[in-house]
Amino acid sequence: MSLYGASVEIGLHCLVSLVYPPNSGAPSTRELAEFQGVSPSYVAKLFTKLAKAGLITSAEGIQGGFRLAKDPSKVSIWDVVNILEPDKPLFRCRDIRRDIVLFEQKPPRWATCGLCPIHATMRDAENSMRRSLEAVTLADIANQVGRSVPKVFGEKRNAWFATRLSSRRDLKTKK
């Protein structure tokens, strides 16, 4: 069962890239998408939501790009999930207990009274997951990534983004 879709995964990867922005400046959505190997239009759509929520800011022009608008240690993973896929419950109770074949017409009160134990269990699991996601921040994830990625990868990443920014400047100069 997949709870959250690609928007959460792609959004978090792109935001983690903004925690330690490349030395060359603020990346564009196109550059972030290309770096992650995902659709630029999809990243642009996600960043529209993130910008409206005040999580990121953008600068216009050839030097423009995106930056975090908040301290990454103050942004929980739950904050991002809630922006990108708001009000998405872990479990949608269809209350099938009302449709048991042995109930000829209307189900008896004892069968539908109170919260179904299955629904209650799933609600508790959802609350646990939310607390877990509230406890982890973008800074936490970025630090974990930073510890696991070889230094040479970080250098290659910065060079890759620097090349893209340089290409943007070259395009402006040619116009």
**Mean pLDDT, the chain cut into blocks of 10 residues (175 residues total):** 81 94 84 95 97 93 86 97 87 79 82 85 92 97 91 90 81 56
CATH T-level topology, domain 6-89+136-174: Arc Repressor Mutant, subunit A (1.10.10)
- φ/ψ of 116, rounded to 5, equals -60, 135
- Please state whether the predicted TM-score (pTM) of the whole model is above 0.85: no
The Cα 28–Cα 46 span in angstroms is: 13
Nearest to 94 by CA among 78, 76, 112, 80: 112
DSSP, res 27: P
